[in-house]
Amino acid sequence: MSAERGKGTVAIVGGAGAVGSSTAFTLMDSGVVGEIILVDIDDERAAGEAMDLDHGAYFTSSVRVRTGDYEDCWDADLVVITAGASQNSGETRLELMERNAGIFADMVPEITAGLNDDAVVLVVTNPVDVLAHVTWAVSDLPADRVIGSGTVLDTARFRHALSREFDLDPANVHAYVIGEHGDSEVLVWESANLGGVPFEQYCAHRGVADVDALRDRIGDDVRNAAYEIIERKERTNYGVARSVTATAERILGDDNSILTVSTLADGQHGIEDVYLSLPCTVNRGGVRDVLEFDLSDAEQTELEESAAVIRESLDRLDLDALAGD
Q: What is the dihedral of CA 132, 133, 135, 141, to 10 degrees?
A: 110
* Residue 67 assigned as binding residue: no
CA 10 vs. chain centroid, Å, equals 15
* Residue 298 assigned as binding residue: no
* Residue 124 assigned as binding residue: yes
* Residue 40 assigned as binding residue: yes
* Residue 126 assigned as binding residue: yes
* Residue 34 assigned as binding residue: no
Q: Is 181 a catalytic residue?
A: yes
* Residue 135 assigned as binding residue: no
Give the Cα separation of 56 and 64 in Å (integer). 10
Q: Which of 48, 47, 54, 88 is nearest to 69 (CA)?
A: 47
* Residue 125 assigned as binding residue: yes
Give the Cα separation of 65 and 10 in Å (integer). 10
* Residue 16 assigned as binding residue: yes
* Residue 14 assigned as binding residue: yes
Among the listed residues 55, 174, 181, 205, the single catalytic one is: 181
Count Cβ atoms within 10 A of the Cβ of residue 313 and give its class: 0-12 exposed, 13-18 middle, 19 or more buried.
Answer: buried
Residues with catalytic function: 181
Which residues are known binding-site members for NAD(+)?
Answer: 14-20, 40, 100, 124-126
Known binding residues are: 14-20, 40, 100, 124-126
